Amino acid sequence: MSRMVKVFDTTLRDGEQSPGVNLNVAEKLKIAQSLERLRVDAIEAGFPIASPGDFESVRAISEEIKTVTIAALARAVEKDIARAGEALKPAAHGRIHTFIATSDIHMRHKLNKTPNEVLRMAVDAVKFAKGFTEDVEFSAEDATRSNWDFLCEVFEQAIRAGATVINIPDTVGYTTPDEMRRLVRYIREHVPSISRAVLSVHCHDDLGMAVANSLSAVLEGVDQVEVTVNGIGERAGNAALEEVAMALKTRSDFFDASTRLDTTQIYRCSSLVSALTGIHVSANKAIVGPNAFAHESGIHQDGVLKERTTYEIMSPEDIGLTASRFVLGKHSGRHAFRKRVSDLGYDLPDQELQRAYERFIELADKKKEVSDLDIEALVRGELTGVEDLYTLEYLHVCSGMAAIPTATVRIVKEGRVVEEAACGDGPVDAAYRAIDRIIQLDSEAHLEEYSLRAVTGGKDALGEVSVRVTAGGKTYAGRGVSTDVIEASVRAYLNAMNKAGSDLKRVAIRSNGNNGLAAQ
């Protein structure tokens, strides 16, 4: 039997630190549910001291997810740790993850502390965290650029203070696979109490080696890998969960290690993370990229048709990418639709399910064949995570080579029907201007990114539009789906504006009502 390696997912903490990503509590909960179905061992749900939203997310996930360890991040200071402990109170298995930097460069320039002071803070932090939970992870930030002997000393003292997990972060993505292996070996040989703790690695991808470094550490016997879905994270991101998992599965002969993941949930989880964060998966991304299982060359196609394993080392089914089937038609009832959506791995509240069903019936009217991919895209388009403040009621655009593009949009805005028209550089621009006139957020909204893709092949394919909108200093991702690309564009923009509107409203209520959370 191969050795079990634990998967610690930090999509909701380090992943959410990706530039321009801002998930609300409901979106984080959806991702956490998907990670639970994927059967990760631990979910790092947030950094509770960082913001009231992070605190609420860790709380909500701790209340909801009971089969997975929930971790909360805290610097090695009491106020962070107490806040993490508070957020984790409802968790069935809660872990405080406390960290302090151990490299000379960080200690001198960032912390302005001596190595002895850092050692003391690490020990005190672990002891203090033990007052909230038995399970305490200690990370030595920038471990790979730290003095190895000092690192070993800090780890030994952290374990003696009660740390149950010892993590080696390659914070700036600096190390190499061979160096990582030697470092892990050194730690195992020079930290006398190391066998009492779970040994973990956490790799960043600045030099494109995060996955290789993580796998190298597995070869040297680490017990846990810290990863994010689609490899999202600070700067170039973190080690990608799907790449580490499928490398271990596909090359179990080489690594002699496995995870308890249900890899058939990978594709679904990846699509959800991409939809909610607004970070696209590139076409050639390993495992989950649109081209990962596509064969273009005639020789390859011929080979695969004769024998799949000639050019495929994994099968698409291993990650849950099943051939698109015709599942439902326009006569399918709500019950059948609900069942299909749930089989596809989505757990939607009634209001979102109802909207997705209505969109499905419209689509089934226009399109002869509605596939699972279409249904998933429709569902993703309805995942606002917030109650809709604005819903689209009517859209009319006029454009063409000799015409000035104009759009008329009617929106139900907080119970009132409001209509506006505008001209623009094109029909999408015109429609967005009309929407801006209707919505008028407290903070001006800026469209930062816009992209359009076809969900399936064929002229009647659904168009899926993704946008990123900034307002009030935050970025909001939006998605919209329709066979009409202008309508998809409008739905995507409204999806983002709904998130922005409800967030700005919450901020206003919080500062007027002072519910106490912000002040703590």
Binding region for ligand KIV (CB under 6 A): 14, 99, 139, 141, 167, 169, 171, 202, 204
Q: Which residue is at the shortest CB distance from Zn ion?
A: 14
CA dihedral 487, 489, 495, 497 (to 10 degrees): -120
Write the DSSP symbol of residue 204: B
Phi then psi for 396, rounded to 5 degrees?
-140, 130
Smallest separation, CB 234 to ligand KIV (Å)? 7
**From the list Zn ion, ligand KIV, none, partner contacted by residue 139 (C-beta under 5 to 8 A by kind):** ligand KIV
Smallest separation, CB 10 to Zn ion (Å)? 7
Smallest separation, CB 202 to Zn ion (Å)? 6
Smallest separation, CB 78 to ligand KIV (Å)? 17
**From the list Zn ion, ligand KIV, none, partner contacted by residue 352 (C-beta under 5 to 8 A by kind):** none
Which strand (E) or helix (H) includes residue 276?
A: helix 266-277
Nearer to ligand KIV, 239 or 469 (CB): 239
Nearer to ligand KIV, 103 or 470 (CB): 103
Q: What's the burial of 174, exposed, middle or buried (CB within 10 Å: 0-12/13-18/19+)?
A: middle
Q: Which two tokens stand for residue 174?
A: 């600096």
Nearer to ligand KIV, 141 or 220 (CB): 141
Smallest separation, CB 242 to Zn ion (Å)? 18
Spatial distance between the Cα atoms of 110 and 93, rounded to a whole number of angstroms? 33
Which strand (E) or helix (H) includes residue 351?
A: helix 350-366
Report how far apart, in Å, the C-alpha atoms of 133 and of each of 95, 96, 180, 491 are.
7, 7, 30, 44
The answer to whether the CB of 41 falls within 8 A of the CB of 224 is yes
| Among 66, 74, 72, 73, residue whose Cα is nearest residue 91 | 66
Smallest separation, CB 10 to ligand KIV (Å)? 7
Nearer to ligand KIV, 166 or 422 (CB): 166
3-state secondary structure (DSSP) of residue 389: coil
**From the list ligand KIV, Zn ion, none, partner contacted by residue 69 (C-beta under 5 to 8 A by kind):** none
Nearer to Zn ion, 14 or 429 (CB): 14
Spatial distance between the Cα atoms of 462 and 367, rounded to a whole number of angstroms? 9
Nearer to Zn ion, 106 or 433 (CB): 106
Pair type for strands 326-328 and 69-75: unpaired
Nearer to ligand KIV, 73 or 364 (CB): 73
Smallest separation, CB 267 to ligand KIV (Å)? 26
Binding site for Zn ion (CB under 5 A): 14
Report how far apart, in Å, the C-alpha atoms of 468 and of each of 332, 378, 489 are.
34, 18, 12
The answer to whether the CB of 132 falls within 8 A of the CB of 81 is yes
